[in-house]
Amino acid sequence: MHLKFKSRIKRRYILLLYLLVPLCLFFWFNMQVSYKYEVDHQYLFLEMDDTLTPTEKLELNRELDKKGEAIIWQSRFVLVVAAASFVTAITLSLRKIKYR
C-alpha cells in the first residue's frame, strides 16, 4: 500500500509539471504583449513628443531600456522554467515506464 501511495505522488508531480508548460507559455505571451505596450509604444510616443528637451528624452530612453531589459529577462526565465519542467516531466515519465 505504501508503494501505491508513492506512485500516486509521482503521477501528481508529473501531471503538475506537464500543466506548468502551457501556463508558462501563457505567461511568456503575456510578457511579450507587456513589452510591446509598455516599451515599444512608449519609444514611439517619446520620439513624437516635442515638449521634452533632449536630456529628458535621453533619461526617459534609459528608463525604457531598463524596463525593456527587465521584461526580456523575465520572459527568458519563464521559457527556461517551461523547458525544464517539460524535460523533467518526460524524464520522470520514462523512468516510471522503465521501472514498471
In a domain, 78, yes or no: yes
| Cα dihedral value 31, 36, 37, 39, nearest 10 | 100
**pLDDT number for residue 10:** 76
Question: What does the alpha-carbon distance between residue 38 and residue 22 come to, in Å, rounded to a whole number?
Answer: 24
Task: Give the residue from 27, 24, 13 showing the smallest Cα distance to 89.
Answer: 13
DSSP state of 33: H
Q: Note whether residue 29 is domain-resident.
A: no
pLDDT at 14: 87
Q: Domain count of the chain?
A: 1
pLDDT of residue 1: 45
Whether residue 4 lies inside any domain: the answer is: no
Q: What predicted TM-score, i.e. pTM, was given to this entire model?
A: 0.78
Hey, what's the cell of 8? 500516486
Residue 89 lies in a domain: yes
Q: Is the pLDDT of residue 73 over 90?
A: yes
* Residue 46: other Cβ atoms inside 10 A: 15
Cell readout for 64 is 525604457
Whether 96 is in a domain gets the answer: yes
Residue 6 within any structural domain of the chain: no
* 27 closest CA partner among 97, 98, 85: 85
Identify whether 25 is part of a domain. no
In terms of residue numbers, what domain contains 83?
55-100
Cβ-based neighbours of 7, under 8 Å, separated by 6 or more: 96
